Copies of this chain bind each other. A is one copy, B any other.
């Protein structure tokens, strides 16, 4: 056989096919997962681009270090120390080519074929795809309203060859769910006993429009805690700037080696540009604008769902982030519904790609960050007609 087993066993990108059919401009699409363009500080980034070329010259165009641009790593360390009482240094931060690369590097560093990975069910499809490349056995653990099912999590942790668990504690993709404080503590206690790497991915954490900020599950507590973050949801996804935080020095050394073999280093021009933007602008004020927008959009969608959806259709009520998760009565197919909805010119992502082993599920994901409240209302009304 010409190809690797890993590539032959990777599912073709279901979501790409979905997004293709929803690109018709007459379709109201809740299918995407794009941040709203309000999150791109265009003028300020233009100023930064000019300033770094004027001030830094050739350095912004030359090869650079694998670990990343020091001022950017310092900004990340300072932010997490200030916001979460952590005690990290720039040496604990590795800049990655988006969070997607962080997923690739973690799997590359930890997984032999057949090793086990604990994932949330449903879980982030980009993570499932990245991990697939290293041919693990997935151990899906049900994601309940306030976090992972503890009994099932412990059963999974007891198995052999469990290398790491991957969780999204805040406004999860696809469900919009957030782990409660109590559940975070209980999950942390379990990991403390089983000595497995816990990867917390937090792309949406800053986009909280309701409720109170919560501490991370493992960061600052577990010796093998790994925290992932990104500038994709608050500054620009197009520049592919994410980061891995871990105070496990041995793990960090291996991640740097994996990163070097994968792309040498992350685009240094963009690292300078974002670091300059952060140094010259009020980042939190900018984030607050995004939060205000998403709050209104989420409220509009939830209000319309309350008004139009039948009672047997259940859905999550996110406190932040970009997604709402809908559950149809058992036995109903979200994929069938997708085709009916497309006839009404409204689109969403059927739940299938968010499960490592299930198909034709009764769940689907709605995104609200790229439509006006009026369009959201109209789209939900149309969708309700086929429920």
Contact = CB atoms under 8 A, between A and B. Distances in A.
Interface of A: 2-7, 10, 12-13, 34-35, 37, 40, 42, 45-46, 49-50, 53-54, 57-58, 60-64, 97-98, 100-101, 104, 108-113, 115, 126, 129-130, 132-134, 163, 197, 232, 236-240, 251, 254, 257-258, 260-270
A60 B130 contact: no
A189 to B, nearest CB: 21
Nearest to A256: B13
B42 A258 contact: no
Nearest to A46: B53
A58 to B, nearest CB: 4
A46 B315 CA distance: 48
A33 to B, nearest CB: 8
Contacts of A35: 62
A378 to B, nearest CB: 24
B262 A100 contact: yes
Contacts of A34: 62-63
B37 A46 contact: no
In this complex, the member of A4, A50, A101 whose beta carbon has the largest number of chain B beta carbons within 10 angstroms is A4
Contact of A10 (B111, B132, B261): B261
Given A49-B49, A62-B40, A263 B263 contact: yes
A58 B46 contact: no
A97 B156 CA distance: 36
Contacts of A267: 97, 238-240, 267, 270
A126 to B, nearest CB: 7
B108 A257 contact: no
Contacts of A254: 3, 7
B7 A108 contact: yes
Contacts of A163: 2
B112 A4 contact: yes
A240 B95 CA distance: 14
25 contacts: A2-B110, A3-B110, A5-B112, A7-B110, A13-B257, A34-B63, A37-B58, A42-B53, A42-B58, A45-B53, A46-B49, A46-B54, A49-B50, A60-B238, A61-B236, A62-B236, A63-B237, A64-B238, A97-B97, A97-B240, A113-B113, A129-B260, A133-B258, A240-B265, A270-B270
A258 B61 contact: no
Contacts of A236: 61-62, 269
B240 A10 contact: no
A156 B263 CA distance: 29
B58 A261 contact: no
A98 B66 CA distance: 13
B42 A46 contact: no
Contacts of A240: 97, 263-267
A130 B238 contact: no
A101 to B, nearest CB: 5
Given A42-B61, A264-B126, A109 B257 contact: no
A367 to B, nearest CB: 13
Nearest to A196: B2
A238 B111 contact: no
Nearest to A33: B63
A47 to B, nearest CB: 10
A104 B3 contact: no
Given A108-B6, A263-B240, A37 B62 contact: yes
A14 to B, nearest CB: 12
Contacts of A97: 97, 240, 263, 267
